[in-house]
Amino acid sequence: MAEHVLVTGAAGHVGRAVLALLAQRRVRVTALVLHPEAALPAARVVTGDACDPAVVADAMTGVDGVVHLAALPSPRLGTPEEVFTTNTRATFVVLEEAGRRGVRRAVIAGSYAAGGLPFAVRRQSPPYLPVDTATPLLATDPYALSKQVDEVTAAMMARRHEMTVVALRLPFVGDAAEKLPATAARYAERPESGAADVWSYLDTRDAARALALSLSVAEPGCHTLYVAAPETLSAVPTERLLDRYHPGVPRRRRLQGRTVPIDLEPARRVLGFTAEYVFPLK
């Protein structure tokens, strides 16, 4: 585990969970935030844009690990050009500055949305199920494309600087108090609303733990991994959901009960990660 970690996007929902977890583990943290924030559990807080090399270089002082979360997390949070260029520039700048300064371990917040389904301009189904990192990517929106480019950037930086970079394809991430109950209720009322996400999710605490575990990966190179809770956020059995909302899509194995239709084995193998917080459906 790194001894001094830079967390970009530290004021966000996942960023704060990462800060809390690293503080619990007594890891020194520098937090990079876009706007001034009070009372963040970090040894140092740097305010500025993750797209700015000077800001990032300053924030990188003394760091030996990076958790890169800063991004526009939806294609609806800016023009297509803003979403794509902001996300891809920030990832390039952060990893390039890390590599220049001898940082050899980094993790970036990729997204399940890189596959192209959640924000697609028209309804799509994956070519096969469960989804895995070999599944062809079907982006029709700038956010999905930005996340694809981020992964290519991570692979290039790993080669360029002989780094270890983990790109975690995170699903919908939420807390057990508000976001997960609300989404579960929506899926119960309208199961089709979860089809693009294959009803996947991850508790915020598990997201933070997966990101932290990624800094312990020793094998050089870029590792792209899906993480998610092992069960869907729908009470309906997975195979029944797929029959209804992704008909005709080939299945490479039977999905018992509410098993999430995403291949999570690589994350277990590389990170030793299995989600601990499974949302209890009523």
Q: What would the pLDDT profile of 26-57 be if each residue is shown by its tens digit?
A: 999 999 999 998 889 999 999 999 999 999 99
**Distance set, CA 4 to CA 1, 40, 122 (Å):** 9, 16, 44
Tell me, what's the pLDDT at 2? 87
Tokens representing 170?
A: 């995170």
Spatial CA neighbour of 243 closest among 129, 123, 133:
129
Is residue 249 included in any domain, yes or no? no
Is residue 58 included in any domain, yes or no? yes
- SS3 state of residue 14: helix
Q: Which residues of 115-126 are buried (b: 16+ CB within 10 A; e: fewer)?
A: bbbbbbeeebbb
Tell me, what's the pLDDT at 97? 98
Rg (CA), the chain: 18
Is residue 76 included in any domain, yes or no? yes
CA gap 78, 119 in Å, rounded: 14
Which residue type, as a one-letter code, is found at position 58? D
Tell me, what's the pLDDT at 280? 94
- Extract the residue ranges of the chain whose pLDDT is less than 70: none
CA gap 249, 247 in Å, rounded: 6
- SS3 state of residue 96: helix
CB 129 within 8 A of CB 249: yes
Is residue 236 included in any domain, yes or no? no
- SS3 state of residue 185: helix
Is residue 185 included in any domain, yes or no? no
Is residue 240 included in any domain, yes or no? no
Whether pTM > 0.95 for this model: the answer is: yes
Number of compact structural domains in the chain: 1
250 by Cβ neighbours in 10 Å (0-12 / 13-18 / 19+) ranks as exposed
Tokens representing 194?
A: 């979860």
- The continuous run of DSSP H or E covering 5 comes out as strand 4-8
- From edge to edge, which strands make up the β-sheet containing 164-170? 44-47, 28-33, 4-8, 65-68, 105-111, 164-170, 221-226
Is residue 136 included in any domain, yes or no? yes
Is residue 20 included in any domain, yes or no? yes
CA gap 72, 218 in Å, rounded: 29
Residue 76's domain comprises: 4-174+201-228+261-271
**Distance set, CA 59 to CA 119, 137, 281 (Å):** 32, 33, 42
CATH number of the domain that 99 lies in? 3.40.50.720
Tell me, what's the pLDDT at 172? 98
